[in-house]
Amino acid sequence: MKAVETRILELRAELDEHNYRYHVLDEPSIPNVEYDRLFHELKALEAENPHLVTPDSPTQRVGSAALSAFTQVRHEMPMLSLGNAFEESDMLEFDRRVTEGLDLPAGDLFGAGSKVQYSCEPKLDGLAVSLLYRDGALVRGATRGDGTTGEDISVNVRTVRNIPLKLKGKGWPDVLEVRGEVFMSKAGFERLNASQLEIGGKTFANPRNAAAGSLRQLDSKITANRPLEFCCYGLGQTSAEIADTHIGVLETLKKWGMPVSRELKLANGVEECLDYYRDIGERRLTLSYEIDGVVFKVNNLAAQRELGFRACPRATLGDRP
């Protein structure tokens, strides 16, 4: 029995590492056929030893019994919407308000010079979700809803392949709420609609509708068969701070197994934000996923807290290319 338990632990660790390299680092380490062989070996061993099955095993992404309805979840920290900009002048005005809103000179918060530093990343066109981890284990997933109250979709988020059921490494806070977007790539969307046509099922108008409809299925087995992906963009409640900049937060989350945008960039001043905006606009059609704009955030978290919130975060702006 000890040998079986050891082998199960080895397989889980190996599969988790391959998932991380494939989904987070974009560096596949083994062929798909070899991954499938390891997965089926683990599945068979767990079937023979059900008492050794744990909630964070890679085999536990297949879905469970259908629900009659989703329960409501109240967000400890509201999931606020973004302010919008439609012209470059809006971004310049945002930068002016940020600079004037800081009590300390920008140079004191952002190093030499007076330019505010911003994180830049595409705004994925999907469904915003909250993932709650306790002691490194995923315990709840929820939709944004109205920003204050969402729906508990825990059984469904567990089926999304690149959402870690257990965080990698160590050093994470006891309570860690990760926020991000569940989306469907353009290729995944095309495959899904093609398979729906084959079985005479409903097709979807666009990847966002497909992602939202898939994630809100009462039958998680359906969700498990949909090509959903997750990309994190920030934090909600935490029991301890993990970095002093937004990009530092995302880099730390990536070490713990969270997928982050490969287009994430630090801009030194509003001019570099505008350069980023133009670049993403030019490459938009070549991206593997649909976007709904670009998001700029004041990178320094102390500055974010100083700027505070109104109807939306005053340190964050969404721009539509």
Cβ(15)–Cβ(42) below 8 Å = yes
- Is residue 120 helix, strand or coil? strand
What is the separation of C-alpha 241 from the centre of its chain, rounded to a whole number of angstroms? Answer: 19
pLDDT class of 144 with cuts at 50, 70, 90: very high
Structure tokens belonging to residue 128: 């915003």
Q: Please give the domain boundaries of the chain with CATH numbers for all domains.
A: 1-60 (1.10.287.610), 83-125+259-319 (3.30.1490.70)
pLDDT in tens, 162-213: 999 999 999 999 999 999 999 999 999 999 999 999 999 889 999 999 999 9
Global confidence as pTM: 0.85
pLDDT in tens, 68-116: 678 999 999 888 777 666 677 888 888 888 888 775 555 555 554 568 8
Give the pLDDT score at 311.
35
pLDDT in tens, 212-234: 999 999 899 999 999 999 999 99
d(CA 321, CA 319): 6
The angle that helices 2-23 and 32-48 make with each other, rounded to 10 degrees, is 150
- Nearest alpha-carbon partner for 317 in 295, 300, 285: 295
Catalytic site includes residue 202: no
pLDDT averaged over every residue in the chain: 87
The count of other CB atoms within 10 Å of the CB of residue 237 is 13
Question: Which candidate in 115, 123, 166, 297 is catalytic?
Answer: 123
pLDDT in tens, 235-283: 999 999 999 999 999 999 999 999 999 999 999 999 999 999 999 989 9
- Is residue 5 helix, strand or coil? helix
d(CA 177, CA 160): 17
